[in-house]
């Protein structure tokens, strides 16, 4: 995501870090004043404090002047205030800034905070994972990378549209036929339906999406070698015989390295964001004012 941001806007991530590093003593420390209503909780005060710090950083880098979304929004505000104005966009923007509109507008604040948070998550090259770290990440979070177990089963279908009122009787007859055939495959039995295959290997989720919960539940039970049915779906009646049921499997790193890397980096970004935010918090001098 950092590249996405780099893509369109100047980024202050490195600058954030640099600012923190050069913070030095209190005399050089940046300051913010947080105005809160009386009775605000400590958590609310801390949240607003952190927002004000990020907004101040955005202000220090002039983002409110260079961000296209801030610009168009403030111009829109000005045109809303005075629909008859003949001033051009740039003039209206300056007027909005002169009114300090950017400090209070929730859309502008949200935009600048977004940019600031994205910048906090910048991942430098030296934080990129090694293969060993990826392997560790994979084994520590198997639930994130497991593949759903597959069920291989035989499938016979009777179309409700085609058979109409005889569907029930045809279903009973098909059940007898299947039982009589024993272990023989159901070759040549049933009706065609686009995408329905005589033998398929699929997930229980796919079965549910295609044919509904009843069929999925039976397939999920995974009783091997027994014809089950008739089972209703929106299409008609189904008979299934499970041949094999495989449990969920965690693929080796070689097969999912890019996926693991993406997941790992998401965590790194979160960690770096927290670390940098805390560093910024420590660097700032914060005044809290209370209003009634």
| The binder of other proteins chosen from 192, 226, 275, 290 (CB under 8 A) | 192
What is the H or E stretch that residue 8 is in?
helix 2-8
Phi, psi values for residue 41, rounded to 5°: -75, 165
Residue 137 found at the interface with other proteins (CB under 8 A): no
Residue 232 found at the interface with other proteins (CB under 8 A): no
Q: Which is nearer to other proteins, 29 or 44 (CB)?
A: 44
| The binder of other proteins chosen from 31, 33, 44, 66 (CB under 8 A) | 66
Residue 197 found at the interface with other proteins (CB under 8 A): yes
HEC-encoded secondary structure of 27-96: HHCCEEEEEEECCCCHHHHHHHHHHHHHHHHHHHCCHHHHCHHHHHHHHHHHHHHCCCCCCCHHHHHHHH
Name residues contacting other proteins, limited to 155-174 (CB under 8 A).
159-162
Please name the residue that has the structure tokens 């779906």: 233
Q: Between β-strands 150-159 and 236-245, what pairing exists: parallel, antiparallel or unpaired? A: antiparallel
First to last CA, the chain: 41
Residue 185 found at the interface with other proteins (CB under 8 A): no
Name residues contacting other proteins, limited to 234-273 (CB under 8 A).
234-236, 249, 251, 254-259, 261-262, 266
Residue 102 found at the interface with other proteins (CB under 8 A): no
> Can the peptide bond before residue 230 be classed as cis, meaning omega within 30 degrees of 0?
yes
Q: Which is nearer to other proteins, 97 or 279 (CB)?
A: 97
| The binder of other proteins chosen from 65, 127, 181, 271 (CB under 8 A) | 65
Task: State the binding string over 4-23 for other proteins (x if CB under 8 A, else -).
Answer: x-xxxxxx------------
SS3 content of the chain, % helix, strand, coil (to 5): 60, 15, 25
Name residues contacting other proteins, limited to 34-63 (CB under 8 A).
47, 51, 62
Residue 136 found at the interface with other proteins (CB under 8 A): no
Residue 99 found at the interface with other proteins (CB under 8 A): no
């Amino acid at each position: 995501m950092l590249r996405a941001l780099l893509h369109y806007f100047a980024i202050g991530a490195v600058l954030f870090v640099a600012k923190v590093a050069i913070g030095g003593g209190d005399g050089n420390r940046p300051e913010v004043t947080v105005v809160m209503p009386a009775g605000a909780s400590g958590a609310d005060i801390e949240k607003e404090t952190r927002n004000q710090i990020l907004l101040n950083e955005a202000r220090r880098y002039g983002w409110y002047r260079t961000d296209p979304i801030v610009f168009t929004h403030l111009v829109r505000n000005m045109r809303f205030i005075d629909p008859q104005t003949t001033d051009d966009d740039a003039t209206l923007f300056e007027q909005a800034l002169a009114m300090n509109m950017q400090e209070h507008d929730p859309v502008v604040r949200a935009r600048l905070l977004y940019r600031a948070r994205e910048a906090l998550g910048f991942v430098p090259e030296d934080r990129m994972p090694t293969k060993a770290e990826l392997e560790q990440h994979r084994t520590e979070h198997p639930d994130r990378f497991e593949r759903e177990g597959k069920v291989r089963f035989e499938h016979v279908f009777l179309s409700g549209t085609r058979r109409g009122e005889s569907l029930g009787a045809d279903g009973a007859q098909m059940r007898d036929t299947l039982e009589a055939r024993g272990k023989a495959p159901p070759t040549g039995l049933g009706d065609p339906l686009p995408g329905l295959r005589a033998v398929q290997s699929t997930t229980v989720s796919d079965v549910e999406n295609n044919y509904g919960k009843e069929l999925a539940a039976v397939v999920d039970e995974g009783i091997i070698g027994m014809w089950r049915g008739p089972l209703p779906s929106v299409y008609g009646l189904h008979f299934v015989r499970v041949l094999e049921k495989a449990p969920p499997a965690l693929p080796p790193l070689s097969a999912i390295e890019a996926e693991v890397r993406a997941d790992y980096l998401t965590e790194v970004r979160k960690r770096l964001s927290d670390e940098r935010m805390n560093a910024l918090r420590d660097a700032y001098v914060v005044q809290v004012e209370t209003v009634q």
